[in-house]
Structure formats: structure tokens, C-alpha cells
Structure 1
Amino acid sequence: MLSRSTAPAAGQQRAARASFSPLRPPGPIARRRSRCVPRHRRAAAAGDAASGAPALAPAPAAAAAAVASPGTKGGAFDYAAEWWPLAFAADLDREAPNRIMLLGEPLVVWWDGAAWRCFADRCPHRLVPLSEGRINAAKRLECAYHGWEFSGGGSCERVPQGGGGASPRACATAYPARLRQGLLFVRPKPEAGPGAAAADESKIPIVEEFEDPAWVAQDTFRDVAYDWTTLMENVLDASHVPFTHHKSISNRNVIGDYVTTLDGPVTAAGFTGIWPTGPRGGALGPQSGTFRAPAFMHQKIDMREKRGAESMVVVYAVPSSPGRCRILNRNAFRFAKARLPAVVARLVPAFMVHLGTQVPLEDDVIFLHLGEEEYLKARARGQAVGQAYYCPTQADAYVLAFRRWLDDFGGGGPWGSPDAAFLGRIGPRQSRDALLDRYAGHTASCARCQRALRRVRLARRAVGVAAGAAAAAGLLAAAVAVCLAAAAAGGAAGAAGGGAGGAAAAALSALSWFAGAGGAAPGAAAPAAAGAAAARALGWGAAAALLWWLANGALGALESAFYKGQYPPPRNTDKA
């Protein structure tokens, strides 16, 4: 229980609540309904009779039965009824299907030329993943196995082998997908079919501040090898930042108190709270926070008095499968007076933002991955949260509040309570290299980083070719310099050598011209020409060395940054 004596003053609480904007539901949008429902009513009997198949309703979402978890207070929490952000739309590939895991179910996200669509990633024919197919010229999702084609609503528009497309069983399982504030949200329950209900778009967890164009957001994501509950617990905990993220985004030598309190009780909707001192020992301003069930976190620092700005961190913790999740992270700023920082922030290429923000995400991935297993072992032994964790300070107020929500209202999560069975489902612990695999965790799923990586590779090849050409030119100039020096030493004896000597002199003159020595022939000008060729050789050699460094040093390091994170982390390399 939190001590009343440490609670912030009423004025501070009111100020914190005023600086924190509630989540606002979006306005209505027009949408097209799937053609599968009318086709089902119109042609089910004929289609199934023609195929000889029994008339069956479309299969429900595979994950639905596994994601309705009973809480100790109230009824079951239906995780499949929530709107989940899958990706930033700018990071999705419009030319190919995108496979994303949500609540243990593989989904395929694709662009039909007008809107983003989301299906269960299985073809109704032989259940192979549709994400292995393609988006064809007709802007339909085409299965790679037998070429069945599906339109945006899930209807099967073509069966190349003939017949069967009119049956509702030929439809792909389509889920409602909506684009809000640059994020693609999906509700993993079909809107069409028996017992289906229209999705309530007012529940999409958007952020009011992002409706103001003065806010500048830098977005990133990462697929990580720990559970969404571990992620949410971690990002709610502000007291770890100066230590875990020292040198990457914070400073462990500048800290203050961490007296964090809740504004009220933990409810089924979540909770809000305030840290009156705020980070950096109070140098920035108070920090307010919220947890909106089931997986939305928002923390905001009011720096208007001390820095003339506000900053905000928004995190969506998306459950992929037991012990795996996707973090969608938005770091945002609003500058009250200065305009230049916002302009500069908007000019930074997205791939540079992504690479830079992977560092703090990797700062804690190893110990969170390992610590999660220890926590689950303790819970599997029957220990409660307060027995598994020792949390004597109010710095852990949000952490304990989240765990309270999870037990009281969230049923332990979409996979159920953290028991021995859940411990077995998270799988063995991964190696350090696997946890720091940036390509698997981000680059492979990010269209913008894929494009940037292709450009970096192309630039490396081009610069490498230029380095080779410069080296060849340097060798040629060096050879000419040696020959001219030898010719100068030979003097008139070389000129008296007859026809062969004349031919050699002509060839040497031509080479010296290419080498930048002015086409001088052996004679009085040979020493000067040799010096010029030697200088040119040094110049080409320096250019070759610089280009080689650019290709294998700077561009090589940049290419490597798309593939792997660094170890040890920055905090461990700084002795201060």
C-alpha cells in the first residue's frame, strides 16, 4: 500500500492530470463490407453442393479461444476483442504480403491498392500461409500454392483449377483493419460471418497529442524475445532508465527521488499516476503516466517551465506469442518557442532514427529475457508477485499496479496465469547473439530499413569499384614514374638504341600522358615528368585508401548496424 504521507500535493496532482491528455476516439470513417457475407447467403447451398463439401461456417479466429482470460475481479478479459497496433504503416511493404504474429496467430497484412487489409495467414484451400504468395496485377492476394486469388474483403475471386470460389468456405478470414495516426490497428475477430459484430472503433487507443502537428514523433519497433507483460512492466518503470540506459539516452550520475504515486485505484480500464520530481533530479519537470488496458503506456514530461518543451514516450506492447512480443515505440517532442529542433528532427532519415533507437531497446533485452524466466519459475512455485519481487520503494508503484491489473482484471494475460505450463511455452533461453540480432528483430520486417540497406550495399559496391580504379591508376602512375626515372638515368644511350628504343620511347610517352606526366619522352624533361608521375601516383593511392575506408569502414559499419546490436552495452563501457 502506498503511504499517504508521500503522496503529491493536490495541486501537483491536478497539474499532472491537466498535462496528460485523455485518449480520444477517432471520428467515423467509411468502409466497405466484405463480399463474403452476401455471397454466403446467396450461394452457399449451390457452392457446397457443387463441391460435395458439407456446409460449414467459416472457422473462427484460431487465437480467440486462447485469449479470453478470467480475472479475479469481474468477467473474462477478451484480448481478441481489442484493437492492436501491428506496425507503422510507413514500415510495411506495399508490394508484398507482410507476415505478423498477434496473440499466437499468424496474420498477413497487405495493400490492395486502396487500403491495408489483414487476413488470418492461411489459405482456406490447403491452409498454407498466404504471406508466401504475392500481390498480383489485379491487386489481389494470390496464394503461392495453387494461385487462388482473394480481394480485400476476403472473397475468393478466382480458383484457377475451376469452381468452388462462390462458397463461403473459399473466403479468407478477414479482420477489420484501420489506419490511425500512422499505425495500422487490427481487431482479430471477423466482422463477417455467423455471430460477428461490427468492431467498435472508439476503442482504438490513439493519442490526443498527436492530433496537434506541433508534436514531432520519432517512431520505431522491435520484435523481442520476452513476453508483452515483461515489456509493459519495464516501460512503466522510470527508475531503471538512468542505470540501464546510461550513455545511450540517460545518465546514472544525475538522479533524484523516485516517489511515484497513483492518482486513484487500479480499475479494469487501467490507472494513471504522477512522479512530481521527474527525471534528472527534477531538472526537467514532473512526469505523468498512464496505463490503458491491456497494453498501452503513455508517459509525459512537462518541461515547459524549465526547458520550454514537452516530451512524451508512448509504447504499445503487442503480444506475439508466449514469451515473444513486438514493441511499438513513439518518442515525441513539442517545442513551445524554438522551431529549429523540430525542423531538424523531421529531416533525420527514418532509417537513422530506427538504427539509433535500437540501441536503448537492446540495452535491456538480455537481462529482461533471462529475468523473465526467473520470475515465471517463482510464480510456478506458487509465489505471489510480492513474494517473487522485493519492492520496498515507491519507485515500483506502476510495476505493482500493472501486475495487480493483470491478476485482477486481465486473467494473467492472453495465455493465462504464469504457471508451470506457461513457463514451458516460452521456450529455452536464447544466446546473446540471437537476442542482439537486429536484422531478425527489426530490419527484416521494416520496408524503410530494407530500402536503406539496399542503397547502402549499392553505395558500398560503387565506392569499392571506385577504390579499385583509383588503386589501378595509382599503380600505373607509379610504374610510369619508375620508367621515366630509369629513362632519365640512361640519358642519350637510350635514344641511340635504334628503332626498338624509339618504339619504347613512344609507348612510354603515351603511358606518361595517361599517368598525368604530360606525355614527356625520355630526355631532358624526363626527371620532371617522373616527379609528376610519382606525385600523381601518391594522389591516386591516397584516393584509393580513402575510398577503401569509406566502403569498408564507414559504409561497412553502417551496413553492419542493420544486422546486429553492440555488446557490451554503452553503460558497461563507461567507467564513470
Structure 2
Amino acid sequence: MGEAAGPSFDWGRQWYPVSVAKHLDKRLPQKVTLLSEHFVLWWDKQHQAWKAAKDQCPHRLAPLSEGRFTEEGHLQCTYHGWHFDGDGKCRGIPQIEEVSKCSALDNPRAHLEVVPCQLKQGILWIFPDSTAEGREASQSVQPATVPELDDGPPGLVASRDTGLKRTIVHYNWDTLIENLVDPSHVPWAHHGIQGDRKKSRPIPLQRASKLETGGFTVSSKATLGQLRSGDPVEIDNTIRFKPPCLVMYAFNLAGVGKMLREKFIVRLLCSLGLGPRVAALDTDGRNMFYLILYAIPIEPGKSMVLSRFPRSTGKTSRPEWHDHLERMAVLDGDSIHLHWQERMMRLKPDGVRLFEQSYYMPAQADLAVRLFRNWLGNYGGGQPSWLQGSGELPPLQRDRRMILDRWLNHTKDCPYCRTAFCVFKSLRIVSTALAVCLPFTALGVMLTQTLLAPKERGRAVSLSGWLCAVASVGGVAAPLLASVEQRYVFIDYVHALRK
């Protein structure tokens, strides 16, 4: 592998981000899957906190995520009515006789397998070990949060609990991490969204830390020009991988801001509070832009991405439902590639372990990919510790719609996008109705004007004109609204048609 092996990474005793807290409905228990194991999340009214447990009732193993809440706020299984408090203790068995009730409720077998759960930086985290040793271990392991969101400039701290997006992707966790630590694919796979094919260039990545159980860091520096003083304008970038889930890019754009502020018009706009954000500086005299990405292993061939893109100069002014549309398009840009690629890799003889033989990576831009594959082989056991099975991928999905289905992968679980979809759909229906019905109404008004007094006929003609104008607006708006509505459901991403 080219790297010395070290202490093994313990997949089962780590904190995993599983959901965006603001996206969860406290009225409903929620199912999440991690490492092929199912868990239920619910809001405990007594402790005013989120709780998590394995998603099975101890009675007959029915899913508690299909449950409800009692008047006391207990999580109740809707198969036979057993209910449980926030600590997982059984508080009611409708079928048990009174004489046996106390012993049955006190029996440990009646309790849920609760796992540690906490809320940090707007994300709900679980520690998927329900044993006593696991609960103790959870105290000595910290979630892979981002310290800058707690201790950075005020503009950055203010965005700590905002800007999060959750999306399902149909490829393996290792493929997802490999893709996230690879900056050189951006101008190609995300052309026209986050990059430009014509501006692709070599990225001479360098190691910024040693490879160890806790991950690695790489860095790069790009020179864009020079200031009037002759000083170079540089963008410093670091990419950090912290297992099991965190990939973080940090860009220092202060040099770009200084170059822009040399222009009078930019200085004027900045003085009016209208300048470009890249020209602003935070309280530390920097302009930091972060890509914070969490890759969560759901099951073989299926992962989840939690993402946020904060700036040290303050949060974005774009509404989240609009911002999410762009991020969905970004993920669409390489989903087909990655779903196919990982299966081709596994067709090679021992293709994952012998990745250097499967891949040909002569460029320094592939350094982070190489380091990650070395980390996985030397520290991570070659793959996540799935609950069961060998981690074999499901068959190749040839239906592009299944891979790129935005409704199932994101919209249905995002309150911002789901609301936006319903609003655009309602507006489209109203616009269509206006475009279809108002011309007939106008025609009826015109036909009946002959029955009106002469002085009323002018008003009838004017009314008909207004009705036709509104119908025309509806006719133009309906297809535009339909196209936005469709962007929350499915858009086929064909690279050959992106100019």
C-alpha cells in the first residue's frame, strides 16, 4: 500500500451525523440507517432532547419508526401498543396481566437498545453501540465537528446551525469519500455549475500532515496574479479527511479580495454594503470559505451526504430552497460516473485493495485519493464494518432516473425544498387554470356586450382585454413554473449537452 499500518479504526465506536436537526419533525419517529443497521430517532418530551435506539420493538421486532407517541410522550409501537420512555425503558404492555406487569416491565429484555445521541452544530449525531461499554466509550470520543464554527469570526459562528443539506447518493461510502477529496474533477463533472472545463489546470497537492488513524490533510496553493504592490495574489486551500465522515475544504480568499478592492468601483460598492462577498474581510482580516462535507455509510452501494458551505464573512443571502437546487445539480454531475466506476473497480482482481493497479493516477492532483485508499487499507480494514454481509454492492442500476431521483434522494425529506415544490406546483396549477379559463370568460364577455347599454360596452371590452392579458401571463408562467417544479423531482444530467 505504500504506507505503514497503524492502530485499526473502530467503526462501531464513532459518532456519526445522521440528520439535520431542523429538518426533523418532532411529532413523528424517524428511521435512519447506518452501517446497514436501522435506528429510530424521536423527540423525548420529558427530557426535551432527541433520543435514538435500534429500530425494533423488543416484543416482536416491529419497526418503532412506524410508531406514534402516547399522551405522556412515550414512543409507542403501533403493532401491539408497547410504549417506552426516553431512556428506553418499557412503560406499558397492554397484553400483560396485572399480576405479571411489574416483573415484565422490569425485565431488561423489555427495554429498547438505546444508543448515545447528541445535537451539535445543527446536526444530530448517534454512537451506534448500545452496550454499556459503548456508552462509556462515547464519552471519550468527540463528534467530528468543525471548531471554526464555534470559535471563528462572528459571521462564521452565526452560520453554525444553518445552511445544511442532506442528500442520498447511490454509491458506496469509500467511493463518496474518494470523490469528495478529489478537487480535479470539479471543472469537468460540474461544468457550468461549480467549474469550467476551459479553466481546468493542474492541482499540485502536497501533504500537510502524516497519514494516521485520524486521517490526513493535504494542501495546495494557486497564484492568480499580483497586486499593484507586486505581491502575489494567492489562494491557499487545505483538504482534510477525518474519519469516519468529515471532508473539509478551507479556502483563504483574502488575496482575491485585496486584488478586487484595488478597483474603485469595488471599493465604492463595499462602502455601500453592496460589494461582492469575496472582497469582504472578516474580523481577523481574512476571507475564509469552507466546504464542510459529511459522508455517511448507510449500506453497501448507498450513502448520505450532509453539506454546508459557510464563509467567515457571514452567511449567504440565498434562500435554502434555491441553494439546494444548485447542490442537487452538483451531485447529479458525477452520480452516474461513480455508480458505474465502483463496480468496474470491483471487477478487477482484488481491485479495491490493489487500487494502484486498478487506477492509473500519474498526476499530483490524485494525491488525496491515493492517501485515502491507503488509509482505508491500512487503518480502516478495507471497508466500513457493515452489520452483516461482505459489503458486496447491489447490481448495476441501469435506470438513470433511479440514481438521479431528486424527490427520493432529497426533496421529500427537506422541509424547505418540499415546501418550495408545493408552492411552485400550486402556482403552476393556478397559472394553467387562468391560461385555460380566462380566454373563454373574455369571449363570453365579448359575446354578451351587445346586450349591454352602449356606455357599458366599453367597460366590457376593457374587461375582456384584461382577462386576456392575465391569461397570457398565466400561459407564460405555467411552463416556467413547471420547469422549476421538475427540478425538485428529476433532471437527467447529460454531459454531452452541457456547453
| TM-score normalised by length of structure 1 | 0.72
Paired AA for residue 431 in structure 1: D
Matched with 1:443 is 411
Alignment of 1:97-136 (within 5 A): 97-113=29-45, 114-136=48-70
Aligned equivalents of 2:187, 2:446: Cα separation in 1: 56
Deviation, structure 1 residue 415: 4.4
Deviation, structure 1 residue 112: 2.1
* 2:322 aligned with 1:352: yes
Q: 1:175 aligns with which of 108, 115, 129?
A: 115
Matched with 2:382 is 412
Contact 1:191–1:199 (8 Å) recurs in 2: no
* 2:94 aligned with 1:160: yes
Paired AA for residue 160 in structure 1: P
Aligned equivalents of 2:464, 2:328: Cα separation in 1: 43
Deviation, structure 1 residue 375: 0.9
Q: Any idea what SS the aligned residue of 1:78 has?
A: coil
* 2:451 aligned with 1:540: no
Q: 1:289 aligns with which of 239, 251, 274?
A: 239
Deviation, structure 1 residue 414: 1.6
Contact 1:274–1:288 (8 Å) recurs in 2: yes
Aligned equivalents of 1:374, 1:411: Cα separation in 2: 21
Matched with 2:176 is 231
Moved more, 279-288 or 390-399: 279-288
Aligned equivalents of 1:292, 1:245: Cα separation in 2: 25
Deviation, structure 1 residue 79: 0.7
Deviation, structure 1 residue 476: 2.6
- What are the ranges of 5 or more consecutive residues in structure 1 without an aligned counterpart? 3-70, 336-341, 485-507, 510-519
Moved more, 99-108 or 260-269: 260-269
Aligned equivalents of 2:294, 2:4: Cα separation in 1: 24
Matched with 1:10 is none
The superposition leaves residues 300-342 of structure 1 with CA deviations (integer Å, 9 ceiling, x where unpaired) of 111112224221111111000011110111112123xxxxxx4
Q: 1:247 aligns with which of 178, 185, 192?
A: 192
Q: 1:563 aligns with which of 470, 489, 492?
A: 489
Matched with 2:266 is none
Deviation, structure 1 residue 180: 0.5
Q: 2:11 aligns with which of 67, 79, 88?
A: 79
Aligned equivalents of 2:59, 2:358: Cα separation in 1: 48
* 2:38 aligned with 1:93: no
Contact 1:236–1:399 (8 Å) recurs in 2: yes
Q: Any idea what SS the aligned residue of 1:253 has?
A: helix
Alignment of 1:144-543 (within 5 A): 144-162=78-96, 163=101, 164-190=104-130, 192=132, 197-200=136-139, 202-211=141-150, 212=152, 213-215=154-156, 216=159, 218-277=163-222, 285-307=235-257, 308=279, 309-335=287-313, 342=314, 345-346=316-317, 348-380=318-350, 384-415=354-385, 422-423=391-392, 425-463=393-431, 470-471=438-439, 473-481=441-449, 484=450, 508-509=451-452, 520=453, 525=454, 529-543=456-470
Aligned equivalents of 2:67, 2:256: Cα separation in 1: 54
Paired AA for residue 360 in structure 1: V
Q: Any idea what SS the aligned residue of 1:214 has?
A: helix
The superposition leaves residues 98-147 of structure 1 with CA deviations (integer Å, 9 ceiling, x where unpaired) of 21110001111122231111111111111111111223433222212112
Cα gap change, 1:135 to 1:352, in 2 (>3 Å): farther
Paired AA for residue 254 in structure 1: K
Paired AA for residue 433 in structure 1: R
Deviation, structure 1 residue 457: 3.8
Contact 2:332–2:493 (8 Å) recurs in 1: no
Cα gap change, 1:253 to 1:200, in 2 (>3 Å): same
Moved more, 181-190 or 218-227: 218-227
**What percent identity do the matched residue pairs reach?**
29
Deviation, structure 1 residue 278: 7.3
Q: Any idea what SS the aligned residue of 1:257 has?
A: coil
Contact 1:219–1:353 (8 Å) recurs in 2: no
Q: Any idea what SS the aligned residue of 2:292 has?
A: strand
Cα gap change, 1:375 to 1:116, in 2 (>3 Å): same
Aligned equivalents of 1:230, 1:406: Cα separation in 2: 11
Aligned equivalents of 1:360, 1:219: Cα separation in 2: 15
Cα gap change, 1:555 to 1:157, in 2 (>3 Å): farther
Cα gap change, 1:456 to 1:111, in 2 (>3 Å): farther
Contact 1:248–1:359 (8 Å) recurs in 2: yes
- Number of aligned positions between the proteins: 450
Aligned equivalents of 1:398, 1:319: Cα separation in 2: 20
Deviation, structure 1 residue 232: 0.5
Give the aligned CA root-mean-square deviation in angstroms. 2.8
Q: Any idea what SS the aligned residue of 1:222 has?
A: strand
| TM-score normalised by length of structure 2 | 0.83
Aligned equivalents of 1:284, 1:477: Cα separation in 2: 68
- What are the ranges of 5 or more consecutive residues in structure 2 without an aligned counterpart? 227-231, 258-278, 280-286
Deviation, structure 1 residue 90: 1.2
Q: Any idea what SS the aligned residue of 1:80 has?
A: coil
Paired AA for residue 174 in structure 1: V
Q: Any idea what SS the aligned residue of 1:364 has?
A: helix
Aligned equivalents of 1:197, 1:189: Cα separation in 2: 10
Deviation, structure 1 residue 234: 0.5
Query: Which structure has the larger Rg?
Result: 1
Aligned equivalents of 2:147, 2:223: Cα separation in 1: 22
Contact 1:220–1:353 (8 Å) recurs in 2: no
Contact 1:316–1:329 (8 Å) recurs in 2: yes
Aligned equivalents of 2:380, 2:340: Cα separation in 1: 24
Paired AA for residue 175 in structure 1: V
Cα gap change, 1:439 to 1:285, in 2 (>3 Å): same
Aligned equivalents of 1:122, 1:411: Cα separation in 2: 29
Contact 2:117–2:127 (8 Å) recurs in 1: yes
Contact 2:292–2:308 (8 Å) recurs in 1: yes
Contact 1:278–1:287 (8 Å) recurs in 2: no
Aligned equivalents of 1:358, 1:280: Cα separation in 2: 33
